[in-house]
């Protein structure tokens, strides 16, 4: 259930190329009381961001082989074009250097704990 500080339901854009992982992440987001929108790559994510003004958090994987950019480039584009949006970056293959992450973004290594992800989302949305 959403807490008072994130109501109405905060909208989280989940960007993940692997369908099963994307569906799992969407389920975690929704179970935490948020509304989820999902995209299979950064290009789809940019289309959502350009067409909506209610997305409050982008949750993206780094390694996405399809599309024009990976998750780090997407995170940089989000920070540049939509600065108020919170950003969580995840990867099971690498840990980005601090200078590769946009200001204020948080990195979580896969496999991430559901409780850690939910608490990070809540903290970031409260701070936004």
pLDDT digits (tens, 9 = 90+) for 15-52: 999 999 999 999 999 999 999 999 999 999 999 999 99
Angle formed at CA 84 by CA 88 and CA 57, multiple of 5 degrees: 35
Q: Is 50 exceeded by the pLDDT of residue 67?
A: yes
Q: Confidence band (pLDDT; 50, 70, 90) for 7?
A: low
Q: Does domain 4-127 have CATH number 3.40.50.2300?
A: yes
So what's the pLDDT on residue 3?
A: 44
Per-residue tokens: 30: 């929704």
Separation CA 128–CA 104 (nearest Å): 10
Contacts of 120 (CB under 8 A, 6+ apart): 88, 106, 108
pLDDT digits (tens, 9 = 90+) for 90-105: 999 999 999 999 999 9
Q: Where are the domains of the chain?
A: 4-127
């Amino acid at each position: 259930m959403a807490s008072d500080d994130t109501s109405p339901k905060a909208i989280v854009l989940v960007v993940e190329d692997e369908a099963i992982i994307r569906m799992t992440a969407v389920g975690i987001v929704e179970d935490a009381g948020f509304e989820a929108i999902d995209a299979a790559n950064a290009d789809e994510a940019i289309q959502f961001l350009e067409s909506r003004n209610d997305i409050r958090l982008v949750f993206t994987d780094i390694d996405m082989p399809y599309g024009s950019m990976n998750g780090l480039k997407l995170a940089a584009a989000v920070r540049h074009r939509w600065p108020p949006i919170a950003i969580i970056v995840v990867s099971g293959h690498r840990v980005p250097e601090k200078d590769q992450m946009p200001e204020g973004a948080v990195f979580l290594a896969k496999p991430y704990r559901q409780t850690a992800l939910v608490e990070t989302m809540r903290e970031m949305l409260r701070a936004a």
